[in-house]
Structure 1
Amino acid sequence: MRVLVTGATGFLGGVVARELRAEGHEVRGLGRDVARGAALERAGVAFVPADLRAADWAGLLRGVDAVVHAAARATLWGRWADFEADNIRPSGELARACAAAGVRLVHVSTPSVYNATGQTQAVREDTPVGPRFDSLYARSKFEAEEAVRAALPDATILRPRGLYGVGDTSLVPRLAHALQSGRLPRLTRDEVWTELTQVRNAAHAVSLALTRPAPGVYNVTDGQPIPLWATVDRLADALGAPRPGRVVPARLLEGAASLLELGARWHPAQPEPPLTASGVRLLTRPMTLDLTRACERLGYAPVVAPDDGLAEVFAHIRGQR
C-alpha cells in the first residue's frame, strides 16, 4: 500500500511512518523538520517537506492509496487562530481532497475531547462531547473531527490517550522538567489511576485501520490503568530528582493556574504560563477509556504492555544521565 503520513517529523508520525515502512508499505512522510526528514529517508521513508497551511493536497495525494493524518498543534496553550490554522482547516481540506481522490483516511485525534464531559471511567466513543471544552487544543481537535466527518464519513478517527515512549517530546519531558526544577508538588494524597498509550500501540492501531478499514471513532490506550503518582515517583528516581513531597491542594493550584492564564491572555505576546489549569487537571483526574469498539471492529490489542513501555522509557532516561 502507498501511504502518505503527515506530521512524519513529529513523535507519533515518525513512529507510524517507520512502522508502516517496516511492514512493507511504500511510505511518504510530510513534515517541516529537514534534519528529521533526513533520518526518515535513512529508514526508507520518502520525505516531502511541506507546510500544511498551504499544502497542495491534490498533488500530494497523487499515486497514494491511503493517508495517515498525524500532524497537529499538540499543546495545551496557544492562540485560537493558530489552532484553527494548524488543526481544523488542514484536516478539513485533506479530508475533502481524500474524498475527491478516493483515498482512505486515518485521522489521529485525542481523548482530550472528553475532559469536560464529567465522564472518567470506561469512557465510550459515543459520549456526548461539547460545546464546552477544557482547552483550546481539545476544542480544535473536536472541530477537526467534525470537519473530517462532514467531508469523508468513511474516515477512521483514532483517539490515543497520553502518548509516550522513547522520543516523546511532550508528556514525559514536561514532567521531567517540572521534577528537575523542584516545582512539581503532590496534588493529591490519593492515587490517580489513568491510561496512557505507548507510541507503538498507537502505530499498531493505525496499521489496523489501514488494513481493516472501519469508519468511525476509536479509543486507543495500552488497555491497562496505571497509578499516575507512583509513575511520577518512578520518573523522579530515573532522573535522580527528588520525588514530589509537599502536598498542595489541586483546587488551589488550579485556581492559581487560571489566574496565570488570564494574565498571559492579556499580555500582548500571550506567552505560555508556567502552569495551566488543564495541565493540573491531567495530574489529578482519573481517566480510563472503553476499547470495546477498537477491539471488535479493528481487531486492536496492545502490542506493548504499560509496564514494559514505561520500563523502556525509564531505562532510556537512566542511560542518558
Structure 2
Amino acid sequence: MRVLVTGATGFLGGVVARELAASGFEVWGVGRDAVRGQALSADGVRFVPLDLREGTGLRGLIAEADAVVHSAARSTLWGRWADFYADNVEVSAAVARACAGAGVRLVYISTPSVYNATGQTRNISESTPVGPAYFPHFDSLYAHSKYLAELEVQAAHPEATLLRPRGIYGPGDTSILPRLAQALRAGRLPRLDSGGEVHTELTHVRNVSHAVALAITRPAPGLYNITDGVTIPIWATLDRLADALGVPRPTRQANPRVLEAVARVLEAVYALHPRRPEPPLTASGVRLLTRGMTLDLTRARERLGYRPVIHPDQGLEEAIAEVAERAAAHA
C-alpha cells in the first residue's frame, strides 16, 4: 500500500512517515526541507521536494497513492491571516479535492484548538458544536484556519478521516516542551496556577502516528479526538521540567486574567508592525497554561480501535530528558 505523507519534513509528518515505512508501507514524503528529506530517504521514505502552496505535481502524486496523510500545516499561535488561510485552508482543500477525484483515502490532521472558545474544558466530544455560529470569535488565527480547513475537507471528501490530536509532544518536538524550557531557563515564566493546579491532556507523537495507521487500515469517516488518554497536571509537569533543566521552578505569581489582557495589548501593538513579529507573550499562550482540556476518546476507541501505545508517564519522562540533554549540549 502506497501512502503519501505531506509535511514529512516536519515533526509529526516525519514520525508518521518513518513509522509507516517501518511497518511495511511504501511511503512517499512531501516537504520543502531538502536536508531533512535526505534523512527521510535514509529511513526508507521516498522524499519528494514540493511546495504545497504552488501545488505543482501534487495532483499527480496523489493519483499514484492509495492513501494520503495530510499533516502539513502552519502551526503557530502568531502570524498573518493570509498565510494561515493559504497554508491551512487552501492547501487542505486542494489535497481533499485531489484525493476525492482520484478515489484515494485521506487522513487529515486537525486540532482540538477548535474547541478552545466553546467554554467547555472537560471530556469534550466530537459532537460539541464549534464555529462562529456558536461563539463570537476563535481562540487564535490557527484555530480559525483549521476549522475552515475541516469544513473544506469534509465538503470535498466526505469519506475522509479527521484526527484532532491534543498537544503533540515527543522526540523531535520543537514547539511545546522546548519553548517552555527556553522560558524557564530565561526565568521569564511566572506561575499562573493561583487558582489551583491546571489539568490537561497531551498526545505523544507516536500515539498520533498509531491513530493515523489505524485510520489508513480501518477506514472510518468523520472526526476523532486523539490524546494519551491520561490527564496530567500542567504546573507539576513544569516543575519536573525545571528540575531536569537544573533551573529554579517558577514561583513569581501573576494573575492569569491580567497577563492575558497584557498579552492582548502586546498583540495589538505588534500587529501594527509591517513585519508582524511574534510578541513575547500571546493570549493564546497564556490560555494554554491556565485552561486545561480533556477530550472524550469514545469514538476513537470504538470506531478506530484506538488505544495509546505510549503512556504519558513514559512519554513525558523521555521527552523531558531529551529537552534537558539538548539544553545542556547548547549551554
Q: TM-score, normalised by structure 1?
A: 0.99
**2:140 maps to 1:139:** no
Secondary structure at the aligned position of 1:97 is classed as helix
Aligned 8 A contact 2:63 2:98 in 1? no
Match of 1:36 in 2: 36
Match of 2:313 in 1: 307
Counterpart CA distance in 2 for 1:96 and 1:175 is 38
**2:26 maps to 1:26:** yes
For residue 226 of structure 1, the aligned residue among 225, 228, 232 is: 232
Q: Report how far residue 57 of structure 1 moved.
A: 2.5
**2:296 maps to 1:296:** no
Match of 2:128 in 1: 127
Alignment-mate amino acid for residue 13 of structure 2: G
Counterpart CA distance in 2 for 1:155 and 1:35 is 31
Q: Report how far residue 67 of structure 1 moved.
A: 0.1
Match of 2:291 in 1: 285
Q: Report how far residue 317 of structure 1 moved.
A: 3.0
Match of 1:167 in 2: 172
Match of 2:80 in 1: 79
**Equivalence map 1:229-268=2 (5 Å):** 229-268=235-274
Alignment-mate amino acid for residue 20 of structure 2: L
Match of 1:97 in 2: 98
Q: Report how far residue 293 of structure 1 moved.
A: 0.2
Secondary structure at the aligned position of 2:129 is classed as coil
- CA displacement, residues 85-132 of structure 1 (integer Å, 9 cap, x when unaligned): 100001001100001100000000000000000010000001111212
Counterpart CA distance in 1 for 2:157 and 2:171 is 33
Pick which of 311-320 and 150-159 moved more: 311-320
| Contiguous gaps of at least 5 residues in structure 2 | none
Q: Report how far residue 168 of structure 1 moved.
A: 0.2
Alignment-mate amino acid for residue 210 of structure 1: I
Q: Report how far residue 217 of structure 1 moved.
A: 0.2
Counterpart CA distance in 2 for 1:179 and 1:49 is 36
Q: Report how far residue 239 of structure 1 moved.
A: 1.2
Alignment-mate amino acid for residue 36 of structure 1: R
Counterpart CA distance in 2 for 1:188 and 1:82 is 34
Counterpart CA distance in 1 for 2:96 and 2:157 is 6
Match of 1:50 in 2: 50
Q: Report how far residue 237 of structure 1 moved.
A: 1.1
**2:157 maps to 1:156:** no
**2:198 maps to 1:181:** no
Q: Report how far residue 139 of structure 1 moved.
A: 0.2
Secondary structure at the aligned position of 2:219 is classed as coil
Output the aligned Cα RMSD: 0.8
Counterpart CA distance in 1 for 2:113 and 2:324 is 30
Counterpart CA distance in 1 for 2:321 and 2:187 is 22
Identity %: 68
Match of 1:276 in 2: 282
Aligned residues: 321
Q: Report how far residue 240 of structure 1 moved.
A: 1.4
